[in-house]
Amino acid sequence: MSCTANGVAAALRAAAKVVAEHRAELVELDRAIGDGDHGENLNRGFAAIVASLDAAVPDTPGAVLKLAATTLISKVGGAAGPLYGTAFLRASTAVGNASELDAAAVVAGLRAALEGVQARGKAVEGDKTMVDALLPAVAAAEKGTDVASVLQAAAEAAARGAESTVDLVARKGRASYLGERSAGHLDPGARSTSLLLGAFAEAAR
Amino acid sequence: MSCTANGVAAALRAAAKVVAEHRAELVELDRAIGDGDHGENLNRGFAAIVASLDAAVPDTPGAVLKLAATTLISKVGGAAGPLYGTAFLRASTAVGNASELDAAAVVAGLRAALEGVQARGKAVEGDKTMVDALLPAVAAAEKGTDVASVLQAAAEAAARGAESTVDLVARKGRASYLGERSAGHLDPGARSTSLLLGAFAEAAR
Amino acid sequence: MKKVINDPADVVTESLRGFAAAHADRVRVQYEPDVVVRADAPVAGKVAIISGGGSGHEPLHAGFVGPGMLDAAVPGAVFTSPTPDAVQAAVTATTSDAGALLIVKNYTGDVLNFETAAELAAAEGLDVRSVVIDDDVAVADSTFTAGRRGVGGTVLLEKLTGAAAARGDSLDAVEALARKVIGQVRSIGVALTAPTVPHVGEPSFSLADDEIEFGIGIHGEPGRERIKIEPANALVERMLNAVVEDLPFAEGDRVLLFTNSMGGTPPVELYLAHGIAERLLADRGIAVERRLVGPYITSLEMQGISLTLLKLDDELTELWDAPVDTAALRWRA
Amino acid sequence: MKKVINDPADVVTESLRGFAAAHADRVRVQYEPDVVVRADAPVAGKVAIISGGGSGHEPLHAGFVGPGMLDAAVPGAVFTSPTPDAVQAAVTATTSDAGALLIVKNYTGDVLNFETAAELAAAEGLDVRSVVIDDDVAVADSTFTAGRRGVGGTVLLEKLTGAAAARGDSLDAVEALARKVIGQVRSIGVALTAPTVPHVGEPSFSLADDEIEFGIGIHGEPGRERIKIEPANALVERMLNAVVEDLPFAEGDRVLLFTNSMGGTPPVELYLAHGIAERLLADRGIAVERRLVGPYITSLEMQGISLTLLKLDDELTELWDAPVDTAALRWRA
Ligand SMILES: Nc1ncnc2c1ncn2[C@@H]1O[C@H](COP(=O)(O)OP(=O)(O)O)[C@@H](O)[C@H]1O
Ligand SMILES: Nc1ncnc2c1ncn2[C@@H]1O[C@H](COP(=O)(O)OP(=O)(O)O)[C@@H](O)[C@H]1O
Ligand SMILES: [Mg+2]
Ligand SMILES: [Mg+2]
Ligand SMILES: [Mg+2]
Ligand SMILES: [Mg+2]
């Protein structure tokens, strides 16, 4: 895949497919330590992204990411809506209006996404949130050499990061109300971050 | 037992004991084709009768029966309250103010009770109600020779009458709402009539 | 059974204590026998409107005591009609020379106990009449049954007779109005789950995960028919058809639509059902001119809904709109 | 799952259609994004009071739209906070030069989405402020959690700020009042059963027959602690202690006591609990001067109750008593 507007659009479609496939799993994870809507909400948002892309794919990778951002912000709701929305919005700004992204641009986009999530949600590593997947993903991505290896490294690190949330006690989001009882469960947002990056990496291969 | 005021009071205490023992069974029967309160309601009423008798036993059998009647009317509620209340009230009137009841008086009391239930509730034989226990009980009672045998015959016939309600489709009371679905269940009021007469017979032995 | 209660035998009385504390501005509660009375009763010269029945259907009836509706409510034990002496106490507390109307839901127990109370009141020289409401189309109305049950229509009947009494109608007029309303109100109910009576401790009936009771009453009596759960569109249409075709209601009729929760069904589902019913009535050319939506006649925590239709005319509409000021129903007051 | 619904994805919108039909005299409903607005909005010169959040807590918030309370409610998907564009639509429909106050329950999602909306509104030159209510004493209030949740106190806050706006208070004054109320209102909830979110199709958590969740929220999040069911006397005392000792409320205080059903708990249990709470407060020398009892902030069909205490003074009492005319809360109107 080349990282053009169409390439990013294809990656988003792949992500939408993965989210749809894992909708029930994400609901289940959120039901255990939250309110059970994470899968439903993300699925609604990504389905809306696909519908928009079906109508028209914007000109640049940045514009595609911005479309994803505004769609997520206006369709997802909950905590994940503004957080993922901000992530895509910041990534969009970071990559500017280049017509194709190189490895460095993708890394910059990922880093901007992480900063956006942290700026909005104030979560740090170890709070048992999507940050625990995204933060190691960004660190790993910096070691990649091309777009595919950047995203592959990010996805692998995100998967490990998500797994690491099982043992954590939540300190942000709805799961934090559970206190100690939140330990022993995978964080749904960390899991969805890992799924999204996995889908992007797969699409980039 | 001689059928004096104290004798009738003892029979009512015996009945109260039986009702308490069968409270859950009567609730269960009523739950199947009614609203599940028959055991609770009767138990509340008979417990109140015992409390009144503990305070003072009226002078005559008729007065004791009247006390039972007014207590049932004011404590039981539902369909069974006014029906049993009327039964005891009519029985009380029928036996007058004799100080001891003979077999004929007991039979007259039972017949008056049946007439009272039918006058108030308008049920005929086969409607799947307490009438299906009380009506054959009165018929059988007429063949008894002394108080004990009158009540024994009545109790036995009431038990058979109650059993006969299993196959019937209810046409009176709450169970009638079920239509055909009421068949296959013992009528709770028929069962309680059989229990009461059984307790009286036992007390009279 | 999990309930916020102490001893099941004390549920009604303890609940009344809370009700009395919460609504001391509107009601006065007497105990043993338990009766809920308008704070300013008896209202001289006004016909008293009295209703009652087993508890567990709240806000019916206590929640409807107040100006413009009931003068007294007589709560029996849970799902058990009250005794005549309790009804009698309500009559004594509220009835002036203008007399009283007893609104009785058609259940054997209620009818027998209220009948007895009316006899007692007559013996005291009071003019006490009673009407029996039997609006449930689920039950075959035949001399071979106890007849139709009184359900959702009761709420409307209490409001309308309450308004008539409030504007000074005579007992004759209020009684005639009541009979008219009873003649043109019809209801049907459905249950998704069973209620649990405190002293029983277990659900009144059991339903499979895909089953519902169609034609349910309000006492946990099983319904007339057990059917498979279906989408709301189909279910509401099935319910509405049963009601519309019974009276029947016809094109051009003006109606009040009352969409009632049986207790456990939350507002989000109730309003959804109400919206469907509005649409289906519009399709039939029946004009919904007034509506009531909420849990007003319930069966403890039972999940389910009922639909009630009342044919309106100018008089009934005016009485419906008249001020009412009770714990559960309140407008223009 | 048994519910009176069609497609789970359409539940909120279909329900709003029924709500719009039932309450056309009081509200206007806009769709996509879904917003419930006072029929006569915008009210010139009046501060607009706007709230919202995930659906499934009805009557909160839509049931509180009307004179004396909210100008608009923004319902999200079930248990999911609404998106900024929906909040924005509510602001646009209701906000005059007097500005608007957004009442936000403290959940990460709500705070983030409403924050974004407030930024958008500010960009359009409107004076829109927001306050975050966090009255739930079950959650440790620390920088290491998302903070306390907004629960029952929200209902009281909406009523009081609505009354202040109705009498013509400035946005500064209404905002200050809101912060004062938030400072002196505290709540605790308990769940006996779990709610079932339509698109999930199964209960949000599972409880053994003898277990309850103490310190439950309103979204089917498990509570803070799982305890054995206990008699109402003990349970209400446990709840009240948690609330009273938190602020703390002290002897001599005047309070409003709000006894709330989480949805599935019927009135008979709710009033019973209310009665106990009244008694326990009297024992502590705390004067209950106003009360609200009913299902006002719910969690779908979840059985359970919550207790909310608000410290009153003359100003708050006057604002509480002021007229309100909404679908779910109505007096002196
Ligand atoms: N403050 C935060 N910072 C980063 N991520 C967060 C924060 N709060 C919640 N999350 C993430 O959001 C996820 C929950 O999303 P979702 O279920 O859609 O929202 P809600 O909790 O509003 O229902 C959590 O699993 C967590 O990963
Ligand atoms: N019309 C009637 N005539 C005679 N017995 C009746 C009649 N209606 C009901 N019953 C009896 O009453 C019993 C139910 O009593 P109970 O459960 O106490 O009253 P309710 O139906 O009001 O809950 C029935 O089982 C039946 O035997
Ligand atoms: Mg969630
Ligand atoms: Mg019964
Ligand atoms: Mg009964
Ligand atoms: Mg959510």
CB contact under 8 A, D59 and C278: no
Q: Is the pLDDT of residue B5 over 90?
A: yes
Give the DSSP H or E segment for D294. Answer: strand D287-294
Query: Would you say the C-alpha torsion C257, C261, C267, C273 has a positive or negative sign?
Result: negative
Measured in degrees and rounded to the nearest 5, phi and psi for residue D223 equal -75, -175
Among D57, D42, D72, D75, residue whose Cα is nearest residue D162: D72
Ligand 1 pocket, residues with Cβ under 6 angstroms: A 30, 34-35, 37-38, 41, 78-80, 83, 117, 121-123, 129-131, 172-174, 187-190; D 81, 108-109
Residues with Cβ–ion distance below 5 A, ligand 3: A 30, 34-35, 37-38
Domain that holds residue B53: 5-204
- What type of residue sits at position A202? E
Phi then psi dihedrals of residue D195, to 5 deg: -80, 160
Percent residues over pLDDT 90 in chain D? 90
Of chain A, the end-to-end C-alpha distance in Å amounts to 6
For the record, the structure tokens of C313 come out as: 């005319």
Its pTM stands at: 0.94
Q: How far apart are CA D194 and CA D206, in angstroms?
A: 7
Q: Is the pLDDT of residue C316 over 90?
A: yes
Mean pLDDT of chain D: 95
The closest alpha carbon to B93, from B124, B58, B69, B120, belongs to B69
Mean pLDDT of C157-178: 98
B87 Cβ closer than 6 Å to some ligand 2 atom? no
The verdict on ipTM greater than 0.85 is yes
Measure the CA–CA gap between C3 and C6, rounded to whole angstroms.
Answer: 9
- The pLDDT of residue C253 is above 70: yes
Does residue C144 surpass a pLDDT of 70?
Answer: no
Q: Tell me which amino acid residue C173 is.
A: A
Alpha carbon distance D324, C86 (integer Å): 36
Of B76, B81, B177, the CB nearest to C221: B177
Q: What is the 3-state secondary structure (H, E, C) of chain B?
A: CCCEHHHHHHHHHHHHHHHHHCHHHHHHHHHHHCCCCHHHHHHHHHHHHHHHHHHCCCCCHHHHHHHHHHHHHHHCCCCHHHHHHHHHHHHHHHHCCCCECCHHHHHHHHHHHHHHHHHHHCCCCCCCCCHHHHHHHHHHHCCCCCHHHHHHHHHHHHHHHHHHHHHCCCCCCHHHHHHHHHCCCCCHHHHHHHHHHHHHHHHHC
Question: Is the N-terminal amide bond of C61 cis, ω within 30° of 0?
Answer: yes
Judge whether residue C179 has pLDDT over 80. yes
pLDDT of B124-168, one tens digit each? 999 999 999 999 999 999 999 999 999 999 999 999 999 999 999
- The encoded tokens of residue C22 equal 């919460």
DSSP D82: P
Total count of domains within chain A: 1
- Cβ contacts of residue D208 below 8 Å, gap of 6+? none
Q: What is the DSSP letter of C298?
A: -
- DSSP label of D293: E
Question: CB under 8 Å to B45, separation ≥6 — which residues?
Answer: B71, B72, B75, B76, B81, B84
HSE value, Cβ hemisphere, 13 Å, CA-based, for D234: 9
D257-288 pLDDT tens trace: 999 999 999 999 999 999 999 999 999 999 99
**Which residue of chain B is at minimal alpha-carbon distance from C203?**
B31
Q: What is the pLDDT along chain A (205 residues), one digit of tens a residue?
A: 689 999 999 999 999 999 999 999 999 999 999 988 999 999 999 999 999 999 999 999 999 999 999 999 999 999 999 999 999 999 999 999 999 999 999 999 999 999 999 999 999 999 999 999 999 999 999 999 999 999 999 999 999 999 999 999 999 988 988 888 899 999 999 999 999 999 999 999 8
Query: pLDDT tens across D12-30, in order?
Result: 999 999 999 999 999 999 9
Among candidates D292, D104, D91, which has minimal Cα distance to D182?
A: D104
Distances (CA, A) of D56 to D77, D86, D218, D263, D297: 8, 17, 9, 10, 9
Would you call C146 and B177 a contact, using CB atoms and an 8 Å cutoff? Answer: yes
- pLDDT, tens digit, 9 for 90 and up, residues D228-250: 999 999 999 999 999 999 999 99
Number of CB pairs, chain B paired with chain C, less than 8 A apart = 115
At residue A84, the pLDDT reads 97
Taking CB atoms and an 8 Å cutoff, what residues of chain B touch C108?
Answer: 79, 121, 172-174
Which CATH number do you get for residue B174? 1.25.40.340
Query: What is the model's pLDDT at position A1?
Result: 63
The per-residue pLDDT for D221 is 78
- B79 interfacial to chain C (CB closer than 8 Å): yes
pLDDT in tens, B15-70: 999 999 999 999 999 999 998 899 999 999 999 999 999 999 999 999 999 999 99
User: What residues of chain A lie within 8 A of the CB of D77, using their CB?
Assistant: 37, 40-41, 44, 77
Most C CBs within 10 Å, among B35, B129, B185, to test the C interface: B35
Closest CA to B193 of B160, B143, B163, B158: B158
Beta sheet of D185-191, edge-to-edge order: D225-228, D211-214, D185-191, D304-311, D254-261, D287-294
- In the predicted structure, residue C145 carries a pLDDT above the cut 80: no
Half-sphere exposure of C122 (CA within 13 A, CB side): 11
- Which chain A residues in 117-156 lie under 8 Å from chain D, judged by CB atoms? 120-121
Distance from CA of D308 to the nearest CA of A (A): 19
DSSP state of C322: S
